Amino acid sequence: MARYIVRRLMTMLLSMLLISIIVFAVVEIAPGNVARNILGAFATPEQERSMENQLGLDRPAITRYFSWLFGSDWQVSRLIGMPVREIVISQGTQQNYRQWWAVDEDGSLVQWDVVDGQLIKLVRQENGSTLPVPDEAGWKVDEEGRTYFWGLDNLNHAALWFQGEGGAEYTYGYSGWTQSTDSPVDYVPLSRGLLRGDAGISLRYKRPVSEVIGRKMFNSAVLAGLAFLVSIPTAIVLGVIAGLNEGKPIDRIISMGGLVTAASPDFATGIFLIIILGLWLKVLPGATVFLSDTAIFDDPRMLVMPVLTASLVEIGYVLRITRASVVEVMNSAYVRTAILKGLSHRKVVLSHVLRNAMMAPITVIMLHINWLIGGLVVVESVFGYPGMGNFILNAALYKDIYSIEAGAMVLIVLAVSTQLVADIIYSYLNPRIRYT
Amino acid sequence: MTEQEQPILSVKNLAVTYKTRKRDVNAVRDVTFDIYAGENVGLVGESGCGKSTAAYSIVGFLGRNGRVSNGEILFRGENLANRPESDLRKLRGADISMVYQEPMSALNPTMLIKDQLAESLIVHQNMDKKAAYEKSLESLKSVYMPDPEGVMDRYPHQLSGGQQQRVLIAMALLNNPSLLIMDEPTTALDVTVEAAVLDLIAELKERYNTATLYITHNLGVVARVSDRLAVMYAGEIVELASTKDLYAKPLHPYTMGLMRCLPDVDAPKGTRTLHPIDGRVPSPDNLPEGCIFSPRCEFARENCFTEHPKLDEVVPGHQARCFYAKEWLEKGVRWDDRMEEPERVCPERPAETDEIMLTIKDARVYYPVPFKTVRGLFGLEKRKYVRAVDDVSFTIKRGRTLGVVGESGCGKSTIAKAIVGLEALHDGKIDFLETDISSPINKRGSQTIRDLQMVFQDPNGVLNPSYSIGDQIALSLRRFNTVPRDQEYDEVVRLLRAVKLGENYYHRLPRQLSGGEKQRVGIARAIASNPAAVICDEPVSALDVSVQAAVLNLLLEIQKQQNTTMILISHDLSSVRFFSDDVAVMYLGRLCEIGPCESIYSSPSHPYTAALLAAVPRPDPTLEQTGVRLHGRVPSAVNPPSGCRFNTRCPFKIGEICEKEEPPRQDMGGGHLIYCHLPPQELNKL
Amino acid sequence: MAEQTLTLKNLRIAARARQMARLRESLTVVFASKTAIVGLVMVLLWVLVAVFAPLVTKFGPLEQDYLMINQGPSGAHILGTDHMGRDVWSRIAFGARTILTLGPLSVMVAFVVGITLGLPSGYYGGWIDETVMRILDAIMAFPTILLYMIIISAVGASPFNVVVAIAIGGAPGIARLVRALAMDIRTREYVAAAKLRGDKDIQIMLREILPNCRGPLIVDFLLRIGYAAFYIGTLGFLGLGLPPPTPDWGGMVQEGHSRMFANVWPVLSATLSIVTLVIGLNLFADGLREETMRYQ
């Protein structure tokens, strides 16, 4: 059993690795016009190139993949020859703001800037301000005889300056474009990497993705959890009823209802619910507007329709699986044995049918979790619900690549780990697997 | 048994009807029989004869679309037909209990054995859990279950097939039933396991006074266990008599036919012919007029095709559904008599040559076992193998037939596949007509492929369901360039005729054919390339007895005409004896014994061969069927026992030497080789 | 010689007869199931609408009439007009063309890809199977909608890209099905028999295995057209479908969604259209599956 779980964990890790490659490849290898998306249609090609440089998008895909997954700090500290450290500062309007600093030999935190061709070391003081110290000795000379310096700028990049060379004309910072003749020629954006909880800076929100995503995940979890609690018991009960009454009118009604709800796209179900409950019957507010990320608890009535929509599709699917499984078990030889042992129908169902019949649905429900997640995207979109689905959808529409990647990875980790849980539950229920 | 005694079960004019979409189908008609206490009545017939339907109607388990449409089922005088579930429930598992054909699927896979057993007691006798446990354990002991306490705490999949069947029998006996229904209880078991279970059933009959209804298709089995027999054909009982009478003088042509087509394990090759019954069992929704057997009956007269005979008592205690039963009795027609002497299919042996066709030397076929451990995944563990065939050597001369026998898992099919190249050899060498053919089929030359063909086991898998019969045979012709393209059609028809099928089969699809017909097409395809050797892998084991005989005859005829060398892989020792010149006995991937049929069958020498032969159920109730019985289960081929592989089950084990040393090859003369530690004089005594 | 041609002709006639018999048989299977018939009728209605779209509508699907925006149903506009004054019914009718071409097309592409991957995987097993399955597992771990969103956002929304996305999403499932069938069928004895006449692996896969997968594959094909319609609609709704102003049901729902309280007709009609089509396809596939199971 333990071996089995370890084995499953290993294949899961392998899958996740593959998945991360796929996600990265699809999102980033053809990033197309990410820069243009941020800069708007009127940016010049130079500005676009500079933007890509600053985002690190001009680096080779393999390097980017590793930076994305494992971070770039170790790579940067090799470049600049000093360890780097990320600190979190909360100051005024900037709460939990993350900054990268290099650690000087004396332990002080430093960044650099080049002003009028002068290399200046910015040493961080206790109060958070910086003390500029000229650092002309920092310049190095490369094989071609050019004078250069690799250091950290104040926008969380490792930056490469050439003495006397202008480099990029524009730097895109918090206050928009700044023009300078001393700006760096090459950048490596710093990050701890996805595996260490740093998913990069959202291009849309200009904030770390991991910060934005937290609340959305919570909201989605509430929606999914409620939908799960509503749908699974209902579906299993209905499925068992239908399966035990195979071929009778009640079975036909339930099965047909299951087919209809399972086959209707989530958005259609949502729209029907809005039209029926909101527009015609007026029992629920038709237009649900969630003004903020925390609005979902303001009016519980607003949750009803999203939860109902997410549940209905799931109910249809799970009940059909449950029904099929119950029918199959009811026709099995061991249920025949149980019946011919003289057990009552109730006893046959309770002690012989249910456990065996639940094995298929449990795996299916868990495997179906990514269907449910897909459904959430749609449901959240129908109701403007501030969750992961909407977040990823907007990221996709905006080409906010780090948000898409992070969102996708979170959802997939969730889907894959529920599958693992499903496998474990299944192997527990099925002694044939448990004892091998 | 006295006549006044009331039968436990009395079935009168029973008819069972299934509702199908088109119409109602009478699967069972006019079935009448009694069973008295302590009596075992066998219900015999080929598949589709309605014997299981008749049995399940007794416990009222006919599915949603089935019902008893006529007649009575009197159980201790009470009519059970169409009774409500609640009444039947009290009887099921208590007064009437059942044992099933597939023990594995008849047990709940997710429930411990002890719970499955105790349940029955708790429901019917209101026992508490502890008492029920004790009683269940006792019951397991009474069926001689090894390690009963351990078995109680196991799940069904952790038991062997024989143990599972013992659990089911124990379960059936828990509430001391007055009627026990056994539905093919040994069909799914290996022959040595079957023998042990049959011993148990016979003993239980002596011990308890239970009435038993025993359903089977195997005439050998019922000869051992049943007191009286009812032969069913197409939903009707055609003959009913005491077992002795029935075997001594069968009075219905169907019964005679059945007995004539059984190969006899005690009759050497060439001394007997098999006499198949032509045609096939009609389906219940398309019954012939008159006597239902008339289309297949070689004695049928005019009125047989128009009038339906009744089941008449011909002599006291012997009923037959035939107009002319009395005549057969008076004329003394015996079942081994024939209307006319059929063409002798036994080959007049072509001149023996000493040319060696096939030599197998130290062949091993191993399958890698998938890694189950984490270490294994990283390649840190030694690869394990299933040693399906381990160090097997033998030769076959041209024109002879070698039978390879053994129980499932002994490696007999694997060696066949290795010879034709469907399995790769792990080690060893195969020479065919002085060519090395150790490589698998995709590396063999087309001449070799053409010369070595195979006949397969499963009639339903042997033909591609997507193409017509003719196309499939034609494809082989084309591939081997046997005939010019424009003669293809004629050649296919010639081949179809050679396997006794007509030209009209050319355009049929496989699913329009019966099992026997499909198997013939498979044979036609195999001989399309005019092969020098044909390997037959269980060619008849999935067929009904009446059809088996026809296929065996056909194979013999082909061998006679073309002097084909054959290898017959089979678990059925009777058909091997009927068919083969030499026989090889395999156990757990190893050869135990090989030699001419005569010397092996007449005086089996290896302890395993002796046990196998003793286990064969003989269709003769007068024989005392006992002998060497095997216990325990076949060890795993991944980790076979050291020394002699048979040592864990061998009743004649000498001692340590059997566990430590490989058995030596002992030449008994005349090509008879035995792999055993027992000295030759001991072996001869067996 | 004359005899020769006669035989050949007979062969051909017989082959034709066999095909007809098979066709009749499959029709019997379809018509034996009420579920399948209901589904078929629903689907056929939409097929007719799509084929005869210009004949059953009075307006072009892109024709705007700014004097007639957000109208309810009337004699001229049987389902009213949308916010740009376009006739809802003609957008529905022409939208049927979109979904009924893209759906089957994407499923066909998915089948080609799925069969190409699944057949060798199931037939050979071993490391080929292991590799293919790991990759497919990874793709299947994606919630389908998420996969589509990522792909479409990377390559942009166009009919071609929608087909590609849905094919990528569907291929792993098909490959798994084909693999499972192939693993089963490769153990059949007729496959061994084919090897024994020296057939090459590719011949065995295409000639012995693939044709015998057709039953489950046909049912799966129909089911997947249903899914494809489901997802094309969903993508349209999410704004990742066909670029406007293409008449596309999902897109219509998306456009009308925010204006629903002013004019429910565009949204309601488009939603109902998708639902009836998808349910029709599902009923048809389901009925067919049950009937073939019973038939066997």
Read off φ and ψ for residue A76, nearest 5 degrees.
-65, -45
Q: What value, to the nearest 5°, has the Cα angle with vertex A319 and ends A313 and A324?
A: 135
Q: b vs e for B333-358, b when ≥16 Cβ sit within 10 Å of the residue's Cβ?
A: bebeeeeeeeeebbbeeeeeeeeebb
Nearest-by-Cβ selection for B489 from C11, C190, C201: C11
Mean pLDDT, chain B, rounded, equals 86
Residue C3, in any domain of the structure? no
pLDDT at position B346: 46
Residue C41, in any domain of the structure? yes
pLDDT at position A29: 63
pLDDT at position B343: 44
User: Is C192's Cβ below 8 Å from some Cβ in B?
Assistant: yes
Percent of chain C with pLDDT over 70: 95
Nearest-by-Cβ selection for A263 from C138, C226, C253: C226
- Residue C203 to residue A341: CA distance in whole angstroms: 52
Q: Count other C-beta atoms under 10 Å from residue C25's C-beta.
A: 10
Question: Would the CB atoms of B454 and C11 count as touching at under 8 Å?
Answer: no
ipTM of the complex: 0.83
* Per-residue confidence band for B2, with pLDDT thresholds at 50, 70 and 90: very low
pLDDT (mean) for B579-594 = 91
Q: Which residues of B touch A343 (CB under 8 A)?
A: 89, 93, 119, 123
Question: Would the CB atoms of A431 and B61 count as touching at under 8 Å?
Answer: no
pLDDT at position A167: 55
Closest C-alpha to B318, from B437, B229, B191: B229
Please give the distance of CA B450 from its chain centroid, rounded to a whole number. 31
- Min Cα–Cα distance to chain A from C18, Å: 35
Q: How many CA atoms lie within 13 A of A276 on its CB side?
A: 9
Q: Map out the domains of chain B with their CATH numbers.
A: 1-95+176-345 (3.40.50.300), 103-174 (no CATH), 356-685 (3.40.50.300)
- Min Cα–Cα distance to chain A from C163, Å: 16
* Per-residue confidence band for B342, with pLDDT thresholds at 50, 70 and 90: very low
Nearest-by-Cβ selection for C197 from B463, B480, B486: B480
Q: Count other C-beta atoms under 10 Å from residue B274's C-beta.
A: 24
pLDDT at position B585: 93
User: Is C197's Cβ below 8 Å from some Cβ in B?
Assistant: yes
Three-class SS state of B361:
strand
The answer for C162, left when phi > 0, alpha when psi is -120 to 50, beta otherwise, is alpha
Q: Which residues of chain A have pLDDT under 50?
A: none
Q: Which residues of A touch C157 (CB under 8 A)?
A: none
Domain at A210-435: CATH code: 1.10.3720.10
Task: Give all strands (DSSP E) within B120-247, no chain letters.
Answer: 179-183, 211-216, 228-233, 236-242
For residue B404, the cross-strand partners are B569, B584
- Residue B616 to residue B265: CA distance in whole angstroms: 8
Q: How many CA atoms lie within 13 A of A57 on its CB side?
A: 22
For B347-402, write each residue's pLDDT tens digit: 455 556 778 889 999 999 998 877 666 566 566 667 788 888 988 999 999 888 99
pLDDT at C10 over 80: no
Q: How many CB pairs under 8 A join B and C?
A: 69
pLDDT at B57 over 80: yes
Residue C1, in any domain of the structure? no
Please give the residue range of the domain that contains residue C219.
32-295
Question: Would the CB atoms of B120 and A336 count as touching at under 8 Å?
Answer: no
Q: Are B232 and B210 in contact (CB under 8 A)?
A: no
Query: Would you kindly state where each structural domain of chain A is located, as residue ranges?
Result: 42-193, 210-435
Cis peptide bond prior to C245, omega within 30° of 0: yes
pLDDT at position B371: 65
pLDDT at C206 over 90: yes
For C163-184, write each residue's pLDDT tens digit: 999 999 999 999 999 999 999 9
pLDDT at position B1: 43
Question: Would the CB atoms of A332 and B85 count as touching at under 8 Å?
Answer: no
For B649-673, write each residue's pLDDT tens digit: 888 888 888 888 888 888 888 888 9
In chain B, the residue whose alpha carbon lies closest to the alpha carbon of C210 is B466
pLDDT (mean) for C213-222 = 89
pTM of the model: 0.85
- Which of the other chains make 3 or more beta carbon contacts under 8 angstroms with chain B? A, C
Please give the distance of CA A377 from its chain centroid, rounded to a whole number. 12
- Residue B239 to residue B309: CA distance in whole angstroms: 12
**C-alpha to C-alpha distances, A60 to A22, A48, A63, A186, nearest whole angstrom:** 16, 17, 5, 13
Closest C-alpha to C233, from C171, C279, C191: C279
For C25-55, write each residue's pLDDT tens digit: 777 777 777 888 999 999 999 999 999 988 8
* Per-residue confidence band for B242, with pLDDT thresholds at 50, 70 and 90: very high
Residue C162, domain CATH? 1.10.3720.10
- Residue B399 to residue A126: CA distance in whole angstroms: 102
Q: In this structure, what token pair is assigned to residue B592?
A: 């135990």
Higher pLDDT, B628 or B182: B182
For B259-305, write each residue's pLDDT tens digit: 888 887 777 777 777 778 888 788 888 888 889 999 888 888 888 89
**C-alpha to C-alpha distances, A268 to A312, B396, B569, C231, nearest whole angstrom:** 11, 73, 62, 12
pLDDT at position B345: 44
Lowest mean per-residue pLDDT among A108-117, B29-38, B622-631: B622-631
Kindly write down the DSSP assignment for every residue of A164-227, as one continuous string.
T----SEEEETTEEEE-SS--SEEEE----GGGT---B-TTTSSBHHHHHHHHHHHHHHHHHHH
pLDDT at position C7: 59
Nearest-by-Cβ selection for C190 from B422, B462, B526: B462
Task: Give all strands (DSSP E) within chain C, no chain letters.
Answer: none
User: Is C295's Cβ below 8 Å from some Cβ in B?
Assistant: no
Higher pLDDT, A109 or C62: A109
pLDDT at B190 over 80: yes
* Per-residue confidence band for B344, with pLDDT thresholds at 50, 70 and 90: very low
Kindly write down the DSSP assignment for every residue of B630-654, as one continuous string.
--S-PPPSSSPPSSSGGGGT-TT--
Question: Would the CB atoms of C208 and B420 count as touching at under 8 Å?
Answer: no
Look at chain C and report how many structural domains it folds into. 1
